[in-house]
Structure 1
C-alpha cells in the first residue's frame, strides 16, 4: 500500500516526516522524546519549565522578537509537555515555511535563558500550578498517578511544585537539555502544501548542521504498584472519583483490543456504556469518561466521573456493574462490528485536523520509526476478536488490581 508519508533521517540522527496537503495552512513541529518522566528528583517540573523558557530569547533574538517573528504573519506558535515528550510547533500560511522552520530551530538550539526571564517565568508557572489545583477534575488525575507509579517520575506532576520551581537555575535548564535533547530523539513533523524535497532542504539547512549528540539515558520501567482505595476530604460541593489500573504499553499488541474496550466503555460517544448507565439512565453524572494512555514501557487506564457527593456510592456501584459485564460476557458479532466502526470513524475524524496529524505522525516516528496509515490501523482493528477483548477486560478490570481515589466533602 502506498503511503502518503515521506521520511528522511539526517546524518546527525534527526528524523523528518512530511505529508503534502492541498491546504493553504501548513503545520510544522519539533517532537522531542523528553518529558517529565526523564527528570531527576530535584528536577520535577523542569521539562515543562523549559517549554516555557525556549520562547524567552535566543542568541540573536529577544523574547519580543521571538514572539513577533511569526505573530506578525498571522501564524500560531505553541508548545506542550507530556510525561514522555516535548513538542514545539507552529501553524502558518504555506509561504512562511522558511520562517517557521528557522525560528523553531533557533529557539530549540540557541535559547539563552536570561536570568531575568527565568525569574519572571517562575511566577507565571507558579500561577499555573495554583490554578491547576483549583480544577479538581484535572488534579485528581495527577494524584492518581502517584498511586500507579510510587517513587517514579511518572508519578510526579508535569508542572512540578512551587518548591522545585523556586530552585531552578539556568545551569539546571542547560544540563537537562544537554542530557535529554539528543538529536537521535528529535523528529521534525510537517503537514502542508510543499514538496518533500523543499521541506528536506529547509530542515537540513536549519537542523542538519546540529552536531550529533549522545543518545539520551535509558528509561527505567516503573515498579511497585499495588491496589489502593483512598478517600480525601475536598472542599467542593461535587465529588470526584477516579478508578484505574496499569495497562499495556505502546508496543504491546494488546493495545488494540484495549483501545476498543476503552472506547466502548467510556469513550467520547454518547452511547458509551458508562454514559448510558450513569448519565442517560440514572442522571447522576455529567462529566464522565474512561481513558487509555499507552506509554513507552507501561500504560494507564482510568475511569473518571464527577457527581453529587451523596451519589458516590451509587456511581461506584454502576461503574462496577458495567465492568463486570465486560469481564463476564464476550461481545457479540454486531457489538464487535459497532465497536470497530465507531473507533475507526473517530480516528478518521481526528486526523481531519492537519495539526493533530502533524503531532500524531511525529510521535509515531519517535515510537515506531514509521507511520501507519488509517487503512493500516483499520485493518489491525478488524483483526481484534471478542475473545481478546474479554481477556483484556479481565486483566485490566480485575477488581483485585483496580485502585480508587475519591475527592469528597463527606466522611467515609
Structure 2
C-alpha cells in the first residue's frame, strides 16, 4: 500500500521522493548508510514493478487535481506553463507535465500501465548513487535488484518541434498584479553554445542580486520585487525566458528597461573584468550547488543520460574559462533580438 511505501524509509529516518520534467522522470531516496539496501529495493520496485491499484489511482487522481488547482492559483507558476504552450505550440514540450483537468479526470489504471509499456526504455535508465559505500558493494546490490528486469526498448520517436514563430498574448485573471513572461526557443543540450549561453543568461537574470535585470529594474528603479531569467535546454531544442510581476501602470517601463538591457548585450562587448567576474560567479554558483550529495548525484545522472558522459566540475570550468566576450556578444545578437521574442501577460480583471 502507499502507507507501506511511505513508511518503508521514513521509519528509519529516510526520504523518498520523485519529480517529473518535460523529458525525464526521477525517483530518488536518501537514507543512512545501514539502510541503503532497503532504499535500493524500494526504488527498484517503484520504478519497474508498480501495479497501480485501482483505489490508489482514484485517490491520487484527487491529489493531482488539487495540485493543479494550487498551481492555477499561483500566477507565477501558471504563466510559465501557459508560456510553454506558446513557445512550443502543438508539441509535447508545450504540454503541462501535470496534464489538464480533462486528462487527469479520465485516465484509467490501464492507461498508466500502457504508458509504462510504451515509454519505458531500459537503455535510457540511469542508476546514480553517492555515499559512504564501496563501489563493489553498490554494484552487487544493483545487480541483486535490477538484474532480473527484462531489457526493453521503446518504439516511440521524438517529434521534432515546429519552427518557432514569435507571439504575444494577454489574458485577464483575478489577480492583483500583472505577471509577464518574455522569451523564445534556444539551443539544445548538445549544441556547442549551450554552456556559453547559460553563462550569458545567468549574467542577464540569474540567481545573483547583481544580475543586469535585477540592477536595472529593481535596484535602480524599484519597479518589481523580483525579476529573473532562465535557460532550459532540451534534447533537440531549448528555451530561455524572463519572468516578473508588477503593477499594470509599470508594465511599459519595465519592458522598456528589459529591452534596453538586451540591446546593451547586443551592442556592447563585456570588458575583460566583466567577463572574468561573470565566469567566477557562475563557477562559484555551480560549485556551491553541488556541495550537497543529492545535487551531485542528480548532476551525474543527468549528465550521463543527456550527454552519455559525466562532466565533472573541473571539465565544465575548463569550458567556462574558454568563453570569450565576442562569443557572448554573438549569442546575444542571435538570441536577444527584440522582434524574435514572445510575450505572455496576465492582467488583473
TM-score band (shorter)? over 0.9
Root-mean-square deviation over aligned CA pairs: 1.0
Equivalent pair of 2:166/2:340 in contact (CA under 8 Å): yes
2:36 is aligned with 1:108 = no
From 255, 259, 266, the equivalent of 2:198 is: 259
2:134 is aligned with 1:173 = no
From 65, 69, 84, the equivalent of 1:145 is: 84
Give the SS at the match of 1:404: strand
**Other-structure match for 1:383:** 322
From 264, 267, 273, the equivalent of 1:328 is: 267
Question: Partners in 2 of 1:302 and 1:216 — Cα distance?
Answer: 33
Per the normalisation by structure 2, the TM-score is 0.98
2:3 is aligned with 1:78 = no
From 266, 291, 295, the equivalent of 1:356 is: 295
From 140, 147, 154, the equivalent of 1:201 is: 140
Give the SS at the match of 1:301: strand
Question: Partners in 2 of 1:382 and 1:330 — Cα distance?
Answer: 17
Question: Partners in 2 of 1:375 and 1:76 — Cα distance?
Answer: 30
2:306 is aligned with 1:371 = no
Unaligned runs of 5+ in 2: none
Per the normalisation by structure 1, the TM-score is 0.83
Partner deviation per Cα, 1:88-137 (whole Å, 9 max, x = no partner): 00011011110000011111222111111111111110011111000000
**Other-structure match for 2:165:** 226
Question: Partners in 1 of 2:68 and 2:155 — Cα distance?
Answer: 28
From 250, 253, 257, the equivalent of 2:189 is: 250
Unaligned runs of 5+ in 1: 1-61
1:272-291 → structure 2 map (5 Å cutoff): 272-291=211-230
**Other-structure match for 1:34:** none
2:257 is aligned with 1:318 = yes
From 232, 240, 244, the equivalent of 2:179 is: 240
2:210 is aligned with 1:271 = yes
Q: CA deviation at 1:216?
A: 5.0
Equivalent pair of 1:185/1:215 in contact (CA under 8 Å): no
> Across the two proteins, how many residue pairs are aligned to each other?
349
Give the SS at the match of 2:104: helix
**Other-structure match for 1:214:** 153
Q: CA deviation at 1:409?
A: 2.1
